[in-house]
Amino acid sequence: MYDWPAIKERYIRGESPTELTRSLGGRPARGSIAKRVKTERWDLLRKKRQGSSPNERKIVLQAFRDGANQKLAAQLAGVARQTVANWRKDDILYNAECERAEAEFAGENLGRLVVAAREGDTGLSKWFVEKHPVTKETYGQVENAGSGMQLNFQIIRDPALLDVTPVRKVIEQD
């Protein structure tokens, strides 16, 4: 009825009974998987597997540097999301490396966005106001709120930098 050897292998690789049930469309139930884990002692096999290879951890770090979230980073490394979470929880030095890799991506791309926003991209300016820690509480979009929000921007530009001559000519001709 169910492919228990495949489920067992995925469990051993680090997926939780809940993750397995969700990914398999609700069947078998989480409780059924947990029962097999307990009666067949899959957890003993899993403990051995959690000694990760350095290559898997390097793949996760590179994925974070490239902007992946934890789930995608784990998939790229061929491990379960929970395995990466356990590595981070159990190894503070590795967790610090992960945070640094995530910050590298954020800093690099934030710099690009700031330049674009300063060059007049009002969409990016709006995005920054919604996401920045100082302004997001007041101006950020509320998730699942339905209608969203509206932001009004007043962009003040240096008149010396604007060429308004063609507009004046049109007005003077009328």
Q: Looking at the structure, do residues 83 and 39 belong to the same domain, yes or no?
A: no
Please indicate, yes or no, whether residues 1 and 31 belong to a single structural domain of this protein.
yes
Encoded tokens for 123: 């969409």
For residue 154, give every residue at least 6 positions away whose Cβ sits within 8 Å of its Cβ, in sequence order, or none. none
pLDDT in tens, the chain (174 residues): 888 888 888 888 777 788 888 888 888 888 888 888 888 887 777 644 445 677 889 999 999 988 888 999 999 988 889 989 998 988 899 999 999 988 888 778 777 777 877 887 777 667 767 776 667 777 776 555 555 555 555 555 565 555 545 444 444 454
Q: How many domains does the chain have?
A: 3
Q: Is there a domain that residue 115 lies in?
A: no
Q: Which domain holds residue 143?
A: 120-173
User: By CB neighbour count within 10 A (0-12 exposed, 13-18 middle, 19+ buried), where does 168 fall?
Assistant: exposed
